[in-house]
Structure 1
Amino acid sequence: MTSSDPDLDDLGAGPSALVASRPRLLEFTDRLDFGLDPFQLAACSALEDGHGVLVCAPTGAGKTIVGEFAVHLALAAGSKCFYTTPIKALSNQKYADLVAVHGHDAVGLLTGDSSINPHAPVVVMTTEVVRNMIYANSPALQGLSHVVMDEVHFLADRFRGAVWEEVILHLDPGVKVVSLSATVSNAEEFGDWIKTVRGDTTVVVDEHRPVPLWQHMMVGNRILDLFDRRSRPGAKPEVNPELTRYIKQREMVDDHDRVHGRGPRAGRGRHGTRGGVRTGAVVSRPDLIARLDREGLLPAITFVFSRAGCDAALDQCLRSGLNLLRPDEAGEVEAVVEKHVGELSDADREVLRVDRWASALARGFAAHHAGMLPAFRHAVEELFVRGLVRAVFATETLALGINMPARSVVLERLVKFNGEAHVDLTPGEFTQLTGRAGRRGIDVEGHAVVVWSPELDPGRVAGLAGARTFPLRSSFAPEYNMAINLIDRVGFDGAKNLLERSFAQFQADRSVVGQHRRIDATRATLRTVDAELTGRAGSLGIDAGDLDPDPASGPDGYAGFFGYMRLRQSIRARERDLKFRTRMDRQDSVVDDLFGLKRGHVIALRGGRHRGLAVVVEQASDRRDPRPLVLCEDAWCGRVGARDFVNPPEVLGDMRLGEQVDRRTGKGRRDLASSLRNTGIEMPRGRPAKRAPAADDGQLADLRARLRAHPAHDISGSDELFRLAERRARVQRDLDGLVEGVRTRTSTLSVTFDRVVAVLEHLGYLVRDGESLTVTASGAALARVYSESDLLICECLRGGIWEGLTAPQLAAVVSSTVYESRRDAYAGADLVTGDDAVRDALTATHRAWRALSVVEERHHVTVTREPDAGFALATHLWASGRPLAEVLAVAGDRGRPLPAGDFVRWSRQVIDLLEQIRIAAAGTPVAATARAAARAVTRGVVAVEIG
């Protein structure tokens, strides 16, 4: 353990003396049935001594004890404490924990979904709620003494990632901030920043896991240690040689079986067996869980990384004979299930397949992912903590702060889908997932098991398991709502000053310290080269000239040897510029001509693997990046784009195509290719001549003439001089790059903020009077909308687009500003059938988005996300009182019903936004409609109480 407080570094007085000297800490520890670890003692002592604290410790180490002590201090002093978490599930969980200790009267809850006892002395809330309170100057901030920020830097996405920094920067200096963080490799840097912006702060870092973690790999039906236990203490652990030998033996058997046509596909079932080594596919999920049970490694969480995979695992276990519970335990499960889903109607229970879900729970296993109904997830969490669910198949979201520690964690793969592509797990993600293994106070040790597959090298697993955790990087960036609130509270200059105090700016400034050292060293090198150049030129009787390109040193700044080198550089720069312009002109021509190709046009392909004639089967639809579908003489069919053409495509002729072209079968493609070859159209001979960009350029011709006439052009014995000059040019380029890098890094936030402000000025949300900016009435409304589409929403309100809608219609249209479908294409208003008012309002909303995006592009601001009407019909039906089965069916994607958990999640986001609109549009008819719409959506499964 390390601490920034010298009085606590070694706890030299002993734990008992440390506690005895602090009465509040003594009161707190007296009600605990366990002793505090050194890092907990250090942090709690610092808190009682009046310091803020930052605690960085591994998952499961007990960081929340420090937060709970802050609650104790606030209650003892008669002041207030806010306990913040980044996600609602954690807030609900912490609320229940604190109520169990302090009672319902002392603890409240505030999230986008719930408001329970909000005036209590201790209020649990999501981080956004306290940020919004600060911006609104809420009276609830009066008397606040402590703010606990659990999982402080958890959120790192573009929109929500700035929230924790905003809170730390804005809180009154008298409020003590208790920041709880997982171990990060730059904890000291993080602590230095907090000290800079919050003042007196004790940083406590503890990398010791209270429950040791053993790493394993499961190969077939065997579980082997990942690391060699004979490795010397303190030395880098080595991969277990027995594991390596066993994998090699297995691969040799598999290769032998494949060669001889044997194995699992040759009559041996799913798992072939040879010489005691299981071959073929990896062990099934039921067999895996049964093996863990025999080894005494349950309860276990198996991370699958896909919702479909979690549900498939559950189905496999249900079809098997796996049962992990006794009959009396199954009876306890039934009572918990009814507690969580008892309010559901029979129809909803049937749609949600409650019986299937409850049947799995009664046998001790469950799935856990965001597609499940929140009530389902919370039942699973409660049963898991009580030991009544012993195997959970989960996506990685379970690892993010939910209190579900297990004896073992299983990773089926080390690759996950990040929304765009399948990517490898990072060391930080691996640590976060496996950190769930080992229950403090229950398990002597935890176990992480990675399931082996032929493409998985043990060395790769060892690299992930042995790496230090990830560094914290700020994702702080100015947004519209933030800019409005900052300017309203502290003015333009004050807002700029606050941006300069952000962790993002702190990191940028620190990162350029090393760059400045490189700049100084490069400048010293440049001075040395200049001295050598001047001396060498003098020895040849040449005037070196002025290093400064000011024309005062000659007619054009080209006098002397340095001027001659600048002249050469000017020629090169002009040639590059001409080539670039020609290339861009040619590319524009390629794009235009590609988009102009029609079905049946025959063109020539000269690059890539498929050269020769090609016929256009389907013309391009995107003017910005046209990619027509073509079929070549070799029967290859695919899309071609601008990268496939050096020169614009030339139409060589036309080929008649039927209405339906069979391009999906090999025979169809071959027949079409044969027809193409029989058209009589031939490839042009040779390649089109390239234009010579420099041939007719007068400026370039003038520079070349000056070069030939320069006194330094025909110097004899000047090879060394020119080598020095080239070296100087390289050093100067390096210096320019370093200086530009520093300028870019240190000004990014300020430039982004200026651009955001420019958009708000352009649209009338801010008005400039000299050097000052004033928030307009429209800006005041924007200050109350906390959404990724905040400015678009306010544009719709200001433009009257949503006026005159009924409550279900408004809910439907508002959903388009929060919903993101999984499909690639925008889901437009045409999806909503049967309601002209909704379609018209969605179309107008999209039109407002297009107008806003034009302004944003003009000011180089990231364009607001396009509205998506993919959830509008479902929202409209639900708010109109239609049954859940019908709503889930129409809300589905690609013919599959929308998962109930997703439906509830999106509905809650719609409700949250409708409440914001009600406040922002106060005094207008839209405000009343928004209130009614929020109530209309809050019913059935959406209204089921959480936690």
Structure 2
Amino acid sequence: MTAFSAQLSFPLDPFQIEACSALEAGHGVLVCAPTGAGKTVVGEFAVHLALEFGGKCFYTTPIKALSNQKFADLTARYGKGSVGLLTGDQSINSDAPVVVMTTEVLRNMLYASSPALRGLSFVVMDEVHFLADRFRGAVWEEVILHLPDDVRLVSLSATVSNAEEFGAWMETVRGDTTIVVDENRPIPLWQHIMVGRRMFDLFDTKAQAARPEARIVVDQELVRHLKQRASLENSGSWEPRGRGRGRGGSRNNFRPLPRPEVLAKLDEEALLPAITFIFSRAGCDAALNQCLRSRLQLTSPEQVEQIDEIIERHTGELPKADLDVLGYWEWREALERGLAAHHAGMLPAFRHTVEELFVKGLVRAVFATETLALGINMPARTVVLERLVKYNGETHAELTPGEYTQLTGRAGRRGIDVEGHAVVLWHPDLDATEVAGLASTRTYPLRSSFRPGYNMSINLIDRMGAEDSRTLLARSFAQFQADRSVVGLVRGIDRNDVALTELRDQLGGADGEYLEYVALRERIDNRERLLERQGREDRRGEAVTGLVSLRRGDVIAIPVGRRAGLAVILEPDADSADPRPLVLTEDKWAGRISAADFPSPAASLGRMRLPRHVDHRTARARRDLASALRSSGFSVPGRQKRSKSRAADDRELATLNRALRSHPSHRAPDREALSRVGERYNRLLRETDSMRQKVAATTNSLTKTFDRILALLSERGYIVDGNVTDDGRRLSRIYSESDLLVAECLRQGLWKGLGPAELAAVVSAVVFESRQERTYPVASGPTGAIRHAITQTIGVWSDIRADEVRHKLPLTREPDLGFVDAIYRWARNEPLVEALVAAGDQGRALSAGDFVRWCRQVIDLLDQVHKTADDQQVSNAAAKAVRAIRHGVVAVDAA
């Protein structure tokens, strides 16, 4: 360690010394520390040890861009002969003693028992917290579980709140592991809220110093200012009418400070360079365009020359004919002014140019999606958050403390800045106390996403057989966490069992008459609840049917609630699941109603003539139409009788009630007191049964899934008598989300006879995933051969899905035809603009970055098809397809 530290330009921090000392002493290490703290120094020390003692070190990262970055760093330090790179589509000096690779590459080497594993002494797993990633996280656990016992593991993670739990699991599966946790940021982080053009500290540091027992103290000047602003907001007098905030102005009319003015203010406060996180690609591009329309210039003429040189180096090989469609000139102008966007929709060459310019201080303001926070080395002096809500793929959700910490962790450049700054932009819905809670909470629990799939299961069976595979799955972090949750449930069950015994004794013991009476009452309660639920479902079904039948101009009566009274249908809704027609009520309210507003079915009272176009958003239109509705002569009908309840005619309930009344305990003098005890007994019994079901579902949950997969694979001939067949070995070499579907298509010869471009088109259907839900004709595609192959592929998918439903397994994703035309055109060397438009949606072309990313994923699967297909024609077509796709923008900057 003395020799290693002498090579560094800075002294080691205490946590780095602790981790390196443990590594030198022969231990594995888990290092959890904040972004920018210098965790990678520990990984670099493992490289140093491997070279010093003649061993080998694999340095793994989650993404290719990080692998390339680390390869460049290590090559600069140790020379080209000592360092190699393996990223799936790149292989440089793979026999070197130090090889940088993506984690998937190492996983595949382990399953293939690659000879390259011989002599391996260290594996560095950078960003190991990626094992929580729901799409790719399982790869990390597979590597940790499969690595030979004599390989020392160096795991580098962002700060997680359950580091001890993760470390305890590492101890059980990897042996002696030293856990090093450092929660101190190397650069202090100051939190601010920017209100209009004024910058406020979020925390009152003086008050917190005086009251250390107080958890958080929000800056009082900020509190006073926001109260004053809220008061003026309510009176509508905060800003002049010219800014859209005249008398009666409210949060609906709020206009945020334009981005150029935000950046100018940060520049004035010496807080650039800054990353502004905006949680959508379109939002990042719009923010950049807003700045381009302004006069904002953040660079000098000398810097522009340096920027142009770096741009040429990264993009000089791009075809000149494609520059316009790529938006090259606007992108270049932004860079020359010190501005950029950064997101996955950008061309990789553009994205990498931005990264290099930002690190060199030549780009001073970047608008980025949160993907930048995952590993890319782009620290800034300041991080700006415009909103604390983001779309998570299903809904708009508030940022978690962990996400807030991850994003703001980019602020503060080690060796450059003495402090970092996090700035949240104020808007009327922002609560400063909630921001303070986010900024002061350090919860980022690591949750395993490990689940056995087809490829993993077949590889496990082939390597170690079913029993040892079950043992390995039981050792996973996922099962470790599940078992820990079971411990608490089992304790709860034990406590409840003691309490149930005591209550049972109060009821006369297990054989007492009253326990039978209590059970009878419980059955009656359950039956009544069931009938009430069915009654609610019936009433909702009737309400839905009534709403679906309504047409434009129908007048109805809303029976209950704040909107009770007459209403006219402006826009009907035929959605049979949840109809929400747009209505206008007689009190001038316009909005959508639902089945919840109708305890009795909605029915038309008659019709009313409506203008061809009703702008319900304007007060005048609402007022005029409401007046017409009130004078139309319709009236709200009298109170309708509710339909008879199901319970009144239910024979089973009547039988149970008769049995209850005739039971001897029904006439006991202490019946009511014992009934209360009986209710507690039944409630506790229900709770305990629920806990037992959770334990049963959790215990050995992974091995149950594994056994179901084995049953399906055995039915399909991939496993016979516990042994993997030739078809199974093909499946073991296909790493895809739709691995079984690909294996079945190859086995059944569905892709035979296709030309290279046609094969690329069909393969894209099992790779591509549209950002929005879209529908296509089943037999979609530019040629008859493509349409036929896709139809057959979808047929196989349908069969697999039926098997998965029967075996209670996760369902294979449906083939998506959204990239078929685009990749076919590209593989036939048609212009880029044609391919982008062909892959677009709702008139918008696919972004160049997405196009390149999907092309490379298709290349990856085609390469697997080339290596695994038994049919030589299919194998050759796949190899030719790879070459046909890898040209133009797809070939440039292939990182």
- Provide the TM-score with structure 2 as the length reference: 0.89
Instruction: Identify if the C-alpha distance between structure 1 residues 621 and 458 changes in structure 2 by more than 3 Å, giving closer, same or farther.
Output: closer
Q: How does 1:240-319 map to 2 (within 5 A)?
A: 240-252=219-231, 258=237, 262=241, 264-265=243-244, 281-319=255-293
Instruction: Identify if the C-alpha distance between structure 1 residues 924 and 674 changes in structure 2 by more than 3 Å, giving closer, same or farther.
Output: farther
Query: For 1:861, what is the secondary structure of its paired residue?
Result: coil
Equivalent position amino acid for 2:862 in 1: L
Instruction: Identify if the C-alpha distance between structure 1 residues 685 and 393 changes in structure 2 by more than 3 Å, giving closer, same or farther.
Output: closer
Residue pair 1:633, 1:674 contacting (<8 A) in 2 also: no
Name 1:471's counterpart in structure 2: 445
- Distance across 2 between alignment mates of 1:850 and 1:654: 47
1:776 pairs, out of 721, 725, 734, with 725
- Distance across 2 between alignment mates of 1:732 and 1:154: 41
Equivalent position amino acid for 2:855 in 1: S
Query: For 2:323, what is the secondary structure of its paired residue?
Result: helix
Are 2:65 and 1:117 equivalent residues in the alignment?
no
2:832 pairs, out of 868, 874, 884, with 884
Residue pair 1:574, 1:700 contacting (<8 A) in 2 also: yes
Give how far 1:589 is off. Answer: 8.7
- Distance across 2 between alignment mates of 1:875 and 1:263: 51
Residue pair 1:813, 1:838 contacting (<8 A) in 2 also: yes
- Distance across 1 between alignment mates of 2:158 and 2:477: 17
Are 2:806 and 1:841 equivalent residues in the alignment?
no
Are 2:392 and 1:418 equivalent residues in the alignment?
yes
Equivalent position amino acid for 2:217 in 1: E
Q: What percent of counterpart residues are identical?
A: 55
Name 1:394's counterpart in structure 2: 368
Instruction: Identify if the C-alpha distance between structure 1 residues 420 and 739 changes in structure 2 by more than 3 Å, giving closer, same or farther.
Output: closer
Number of residue pairs matched by the alignment: 882
Equivalent position amino acid for 2:108 in 1: N
- Distance across 1 between alignment mates of 2:887 and 2:295: 38
Name 1:785's counterpart in structure 2: 734
Equivalent position amino acid for 1:241 in 2: Q
1:914 pairs, out of 843, 857, 862, with 862
Name 1:872's counterpart in structure 2: 820
Q: How does 1:757-836 map to 2 (within 5 A)?
A: 757-767=710-720, 769=721, 773-829=722-778, 832=781, 834-836=782-784
Give how far 1:327 is off. Answer: 1.8
Equivalent position amino acid for 2:60 in 1: T
Q: How does 1:111-510 map to 2 (within 5 A)?
A: 111-233=87-209, 234-235=212-213, 236-252=215-231, 258=237, 262=241, 264-265=243-244, 281-510=255-484
- Distance across 2 between alignment mates of 1:112 and 1:594: 58
Query: For 2:153, what is the secondary structure of its paired residue?
Result: strand
Instruction: Identify if the C-alpha distance between structure 1 residues 282 and 762 changes in structure 2 by more than 3 Å, giving closer, same or farther.
Output: same
Residue pair 1:59, 1:182 contacting (<8 A) in 2 also: yes
Give how far 1:774 is off. Answer: 2.8
Residue pair 2:274, 2:381 contacting (<8 A) in 1 also: yes
Instruction: Identify if the C-alpha distance between structure 1 residues 209 and 781 changes in structure 2 by more than 3 Å, giving closer, same or farther.
Output: same
Residue pair 1:888, 1:899 contacting (<8 A) in 2 also: yes
2:803 pairs, out of 840, 849, 855, with 855
- Distance across 2 between alignment mates of 1:260 and 1:87: 48
Are 2:886 and 1:934 equivalent residues in the alignment?
no
Residue pair 1:792, 1:852 contacting (<8 A) in 2 also: yes
Instruction: Identify if the C-alpha distance between structure 1 residues 639 and 504 changes in structure 2 by more than 3 Å, giving closer, same or farther.
Output: same
Give how far 1:494 is off. Answer: 1.9
Give how far 1:105 is off. Answer: 2.1
Are 2:697 and 1:749 equivalent residues in the alignment?
no
Are 2:536 and 1:560 equivalent residues in the alignment?
no
Equivalent position amino acid for 1:119 in 2: D
1:716 pairs, out of 656, 663, 669, with 669
Indicate the larger mover: 48-57 or 214-223. 214-223
- Distance across 2 between alignment mates of 1:149 and 1:342: 34
Instruction: Identify if the C-alpha distance between structure 1 residues 457 and 628 changes in structure 2 by more than 3 Å, giving closer, same or farther.
Output: closer
Residue pair 2:319, 2:889 contacting (<8 A) in 1 also: no
Give how far 1:896 is off. Answer: 1.6
Instruction: Identify if the C-alpha distance between structure 1 residues 918 and 337 changes in structure 2 by more than 3 Å, giving closer, same or farther.
Output: same
Instruction: Identify if the C-alpha distance between structure 1 residues 388 and 847 changes in structure 2 by more than 3 Å, giving closer, same or farther.
Output: same
Query: For 2:194, what is the secondary structure of its paired residue?
Result: strand
Indicate the larger mover: 460-469 or 112-121. 112-121
- Distance across 2 between alignment mates of 1:731 and 1:285: 58
Instruction: Identify if the C-alpha distance between structure 1 residues 594 and 941 changes in structure 2 by more than 3 Å, giving closer, same or farther.
Output: farther
Q: Deviations over 1:2-46 (max 9, x none)?
A: xxxxxxxxxxxxxxxxxxxxxxx1221121111111111111111
Query: For 1:868, what is the secondary structure of its paired residue?
Result: coil
Residue pair 1:613, 1:632 contacting (<8 A) in 2 also: yes
Residue pair 1:601, 1:615 contacting (<8 A) in 2 also: yes
Give how far 1:333 is off. Answer: 1.2
Are 2:85 and 1:96 equivalent residues in the alignment?
no
1:53 pairs, out of 13, 29, 35, with 29
Q: Deviations over 1:35-61 (max 9, x none)?
A: 111111111111111110000001000
Q: CA RMSD in A?
A: 3.7
Give how far 1:867 is off. Answer: 1.6
Q: Deviations over 1:592-631 (max 9, x none)?
A: x789969899998877758889999878577xx4759697
- Distance across 2 between alignment mates of 1:641 and 1:847: 38
Name 2:689's counterpart in structure 1: 736
Residue pair 1:231, 1:237 contacting (<8 A) in 2 also: no
Give how far 1:670 is off. Answer: 10
- Distance across 1 between alignment mates of 2:271 and 2:378: 15
**Structure 2: runs of 5 or more not aligned:** none
Instruction: Identify if the C-alpha distance between structure 1 residues 115 and 589 changes in structure 2 by more than 3 Å, giving closer, same or farther.
Output: farther
Query: For 1:448, what is the secondary structure of its paired residue?
Result: strand
Query: For 1:203, what is the secondary structure of its paired residue?
Result: strand
Residue pair 2:507, 2:515 contacting (<8 A) in 1 also: no
Query: For 2:366, what is the secondary structure of its paired residue?
Result: strand
- Distance across 1 between alignment mates of 2:255 and 2:751: 56
Query: For 1:53, what is the secondary structure of its paired residue?
Result: strand
**Structure 1: runs of 5 or more not aligned:** 1-24, 271-278, 535-543, 547-558
Give how far 1:78 is off. Answer: 1.9
Equivalent position amino acid for 1:809 in 2: E
Give how far 1:84 is off. Answer: 0.9
Query: For 1:153, what is the secondary structure of its paired residue?
Result: helix
Instruction: Identify if the C-alpha distance between structure 1 residues 619 and 395 changes in structure 2 by more than 3 Å, giving closer, same or farther.
Output: closer
- Distance across 2 between alignment mates of 1:312 and 1:901: 17
Indicate the larger mover: 607-616 or 76-85. 607-616
Give how far 1:445 is off. Answer: 1.2
Residue pair 2:548, 2:575 contacting (<8 A) in 1 also: no
- Distance across 2 between alignment mates of 1:639 and 1:862: 36
Query: For 2:132, what is the secondary structure of its paired residue?
Result: coil
Give how far 1:292 is off. Answer: 2.0
Give how far 1:280 is off. Answer: 6.9
1:899 pairs, out of 834, 843, 847, with 847
Give how far 1:695 is off. Answer: 3.5
- Distance across 1 between alignment mates of 2:152 and 2:455: 26
- Distance across 2 between alignment mates of 1:618 and 1:758: 49
Residue pair 1:594, 1:627 contacting (<8 A) in 2 also: no
Equivalent position amino acid for 1:79 in 2: G
Residue pair 1:594, 1:620 contacting (<8 A) in 2 also: no
Query: For 1:204, what is the secondary structure of its paired residue?
Result: strand
Equivalent position amino acid for 1:800 in 2: G
Instruction: Identify if the C-alpha distance between structure 1 residues 782 and 651 changes in structure 2 by more than 3 Å, giving closer, same or farther.
Output: farther
Query: For 1:351, what is the secondary structure of its paired residue?
Result: coil
- Distance across 2 between alignment mates of 1:142 and 1:479: 28
- Provide the TM-score with structure 1 as the length reference: 0.85
